[in-house]
């Protein structure tokens, strides 16, 4: 999966978790929780949804890496590349 596909998946997932937000209007470099009403449970549901869609393990200790769209895409790409290479 390439980064553009991952970005689309991340934005779609954010849109499902926070339907009142406009994911396309978010600054991809800024913490998502600083931009929209996204509480701890929403963030947990976001991480779980990404895990279910991609089949990658996302330990709670890595959640800070998912805080921005750019960071999330980068992290997921690393996980997917590691899974393929491993």
Tokens 């980064």: give the residue. 3
How does pLDDT run along the chain (86 residues), one tens digit per residue?
899 999 999 999 999 999 998 988 999 999 999 999 889 999 999 999 999 999 999 999 999 999 999 999 999 999 999 865 54
How far apart are alpha carbons 38 and 36 in whole angstroms? 6
Tokens 């997917």: give the residue. 80
Domains in the chain, CATH or no CATH each: 3-85 (1.10.1200.10)
Q: Is 27 helix (H, G, I), strand (E, B) or coil?
A: coil
Q: Hey, which bits of the chain come out as E strands?
A: none
- Residue 31's contacts (CB-CB under 8 Å, 6 or more residues apart) are 67, 68
pTM for this prediction: 0.90
How far apart are alpha carbons 81 and 40 in whole angstroms? 28
């Amino acid at each position: 999966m390439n980064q553009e596909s991952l970005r689309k998946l991340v934005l779609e997932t954010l849109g499902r978790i926070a339907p009142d937000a406009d994911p396309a209007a978010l600054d991809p470099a800024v913490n998502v929780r600083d931009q929209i009403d996204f509480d701890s449970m929403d963030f947990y549901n976001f991480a779980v949804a990404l895990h279910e869609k991609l089949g990658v393990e996302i330990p709670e200790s890595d959640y800070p890496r998912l805080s921005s769209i750019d960071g999330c895409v980068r992290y997921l790409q690393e996980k997917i590349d590691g899974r393929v290479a491993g």
